[in-house]
Amino acid sequence: MKALIVGVKYYNMSYDIDKSLDELVELCKACNIEVAKKVVQNLDKINPSLYLGTGKVQEIKNDLDDIDIVIFDEELSPLQVKNLTDILDIEVTDRTDLILRIFEVRAQSKEAKLQVEIAKGQYLLPRLAGMKEHLYSQQGGFGFRGSGEKQIELDRRLIANQITQAKRQLAKIVKQRQTQRRKRKDNELPVIALVGYTNSGKSTLLNAFCNNSSKHVLQKNMLFATLQTATRYIEINKCPCLMSDTVGFINRLPHQLIDAFRSTLEEVLEADLLIHVVDASNENYDQCIETTNQVLKELGIKDTPMIYAYNKIDLNKYGLVIPKEPYVFISAKEHIGLDQLEKNISAILFKDYAIYQLNIPYQDGEVFKYLHQHCLVLESEYLENSIYMKISAHPGFIVRYKQYLLEN
């Protein structure tokens, strides 16, 4: 499939049009669409009915030889889709639709598939009038529906019902996820969430910290390889933790997807520390950082500590990067700089930890086992009637075990 992509450069726009169109080309590649032509128009403001000027639309219409689809770099309104489709007599779509198509193909889990179904339905519902094949086709018949009801009304009702059913199914899965999250919280292990732009290397970093190869997540050099949260047990300087990989963000991430994936992104809301993974080889790294931070702000994240991990330094393109504090330069793929990242994590997560000595009677062996799994054990010794332990732990954690504490 060959595409003509379209962008508009207008006054006071919030992003760089050339960089955005380059990203649109990558989105097309992810959908197996070949970009054959590119059109950019300078306007004072967006045309509310056609997005472009009428003259430019006619130019495009005369330049559609061997073109199968016209793709706009910004999300089109339902009216714009309808008018452009009528004039160009070809499939017209936008950046948001491309992202939804990628998500639809990549979604693997039941939860991700439902989230994509909801987002896609919310996007399509107001745009049905622009879909040529369904436009005003008549459907005869009798009954409550009434004779001559338009196919477009049937489609709207069908999509609305699909959204409702998907939301019900998703609510059940979200409830299960919340239960799993509560259990993890009861385990009292610190949670580290990896956030960042799509294809910045979050999954690769999670795998680098995860010693159990059977627990590795998919890592691949493509947009949106990860569409669901994966949480793994890891150790930071021998201290047990949980690390969560999350869906990557992108410039102008469709609001339908933010809403649909909000349950997945709740992992980020409850994290004790965020590691913002940045592709240091990307010349637009600063815009990627700004995009991610904006989405985090929309999710309501304000005071969670964050470390900037400038990744992919093995590509040797990070010389001009001006890092944000606190930061570390790493290569998750080549395991470069991970020791320093561990030190930075420890300095934040374990800054309030202290050393405690405990004496655990043998009859309380479950306590000894639990502490072994959830604390950094510095020393242990089996005595005649009990087990001596020296551990590093948070003061709030140790309160429930005060009956076992020894005087330091």
Confidence of residue 139 (pLDDT cuts 50, 70, 90): very low
Last residue of a domain, one of 333, 349, 365: 349
User: Are both 156 and 118 inside the same structural domain?
Assistant: yes
User: Are both 135 and 119 inside the same structural domain?
Assistant: yes
Residue 25: inside a domain, yes or no? yes
Query: Residue 165 pLDDT > 80, yes or no?
Result: yes
How much is the pLDDT for 194?
Answer: 94
User: Are both 394 and 253 inside the same structural domain?
Assistant: no
Torsional class of 238: left (φ above 0), alpha (ψ -120 to 50), beta (otherwise): left
Query: Residue 142 pLDDT > 90, yes or no?
Result: no
Residue 12 neighbours by CB under 8 Å, 6+ apart: none
Last residue of a domain, one of 349, 364, 390: 349
Residue 122: inside a domain, yes or no? yes
The arithmetic mean of pLDDT across residues 6-23, rounded, is 90
User: Are both 143 and 226 inside the same structural domain?
Assistant: no
Query: Residue 398 pLDDT > 50, yes or no?
Result: yes
User: Are both 217 and 322 inside the same structural domain?
Assistant: yes
HEC string for the chain:
CEEEEEEEEECCCCCCHHHHHHHHHHHHHHCCCEEEEEEEEEECCCECCCECCHHHHHHHHCCCCCCCEEEECCCCCHHHHHHHHHHHCCEEEEHHHHHHHHHHHHCCCHHHHHHHHHHHHHHHHHHHHHCHHHCCCEECCCCCCCCCEEHHHHHHHHHHHHHHHHHHHHHHHHHHHHHHHHHHHHCCCCEEEEEEECCCCHHHHHHHHCCCHHHCCCCCCCCCCCCCCEEEEEEECCEEEEEEECCCECCCCCHHHHHHCHHHHHHHHCCCEEEEEEECCCCCHHHHHHHHHHHHHHCCCCCCCEEEEEECHHHCCCCCCCCCCCEEECECCCCECHHHHHHHHHHHHCCCCEEEEEEEEHHHHHHHHHHHHHCEEEEEEECCCEEEEEEEECHHHHHHHHHHECCC
Torsional class of 47: left (φ above 0), alpha (ψ -120 to 50), beta (otherwise): beta
The arithmetic mean of pLDDT across residues 163-181, rounded, is 82
Instruction: Round to whole Å and give the CA distance between 204 and 229.
Output: 14
Domain CATH for 287: 3.40.50.300
Residue 36: inside a domain, yes or no? yes
User: Are both 286 and 361 inside the same structural domain?
Assistant: no
Residue 181: inside a domain, yes or no? no
Residue 180: inside a domain, yes or no? no
User: Are both 13 and 72 inside the same structural domain?
Assistant: yes
Residue 261: inside a domain, yes or no? yes
Domain CATH for 23: 3.40.50.11060
Instruction: Round to whole Å and give the CA distance between 263 and 247.
Output: 12
Measured on CA atoms in the order 234, 236, 242, 243, is the torsion positive or negative?
negative
Strand order in the sheet with 91-94: 34-43, 2-10, 69-72, 91-94
Q: Which is more confident, 384 or 131?
A: 384
Query: Residue 147 pLDDT > 60, yes or no?
Result: no
**C-alpha distances in angstroms, 224 versus 101, 103, 218, 397?**
11, 7, 11, 37
Confidence of residue 144 (pLDDT cuts 50, 70, 90): very low
The arithmetic mean of pLDDT across residues 156-175, rounded, is 89
Whose CA is closest to 345, among 219, 193, 212?
Answer: 193
How much is the pLDDT for 215?
Answer: 58
The owner of tokens 């990557």 is 248
How much is the pLDDT for 295?
Answer: 84
Range of the domain at 399: 354-404
The number of domains in the chain is: 4
User: Per-residue pLDDT tens for 335-389?
Assistant: 999 999 999 999 999 988 999 999 999 999 999 998 988 888 999 999 999 999 9
Confidence of residue 290 (pLDDT cuts 50, 70, 90): very high
Residue 182: inside a domain, yes or no? no
User: Are both 78 and 131 inside the same structural domain?
Assistant: no
Residue 20 neighbours by CB under 8 Å, 6+ apart: 7, 73, 251
Q: Are 85 and 91 in contact (CB under 8 A)?
A: yes
User: Are both 195 and 115 inside the same structural domain?
Assistant: no
Whose CA is closest to 99, among 135, 125, 128, 74?
Answer: 74
Structure tokens at 284: 């637009």
Query: Residue 242 pLDDT > 50, yes or no?
Result: yes
User: Are both 80 and 95 inside the same structural domain?
Assistant: yes
Last residue of a domain, one of 106, 140, 161: 106
Q: Which is more confident, 194 or 264?
A: 194
The arithmetic mean of pLDDT across residues 39-60, rounded, is 95
Query: Residue 146 pLDDT > 70, yes or no?
Result: no
Residue 184: inside a domain, yes or no? no
Least confident of 214-218, 288-292, 304-308, 339-343: 214-218
Instruction: Round to whole Å and give the CA distance between 120 and 221.
Output: 25
Query: Residue 193 pLDDT > 90, yes or no?
Result: yes
User: Are both 205 and 243 inside the same structural domain?
Assistant: yes
The arithmetic mean of pLDDT across residues 168-176, rounded, is 84
User: Are both 331 and 237 inside the same structural domain?
Assistant: yes
Measured on CA atoms in the order 144, 148, 152, 155, is the torsion positive or negative?
positive
Look up the pTM and report it: 0.76
User: Per-residue pLDDT tens for 248-275?
Assistant: 888 877 777 777 666 667 778 888 999 9
How much is the pLDDT for 175?
Answer: 81
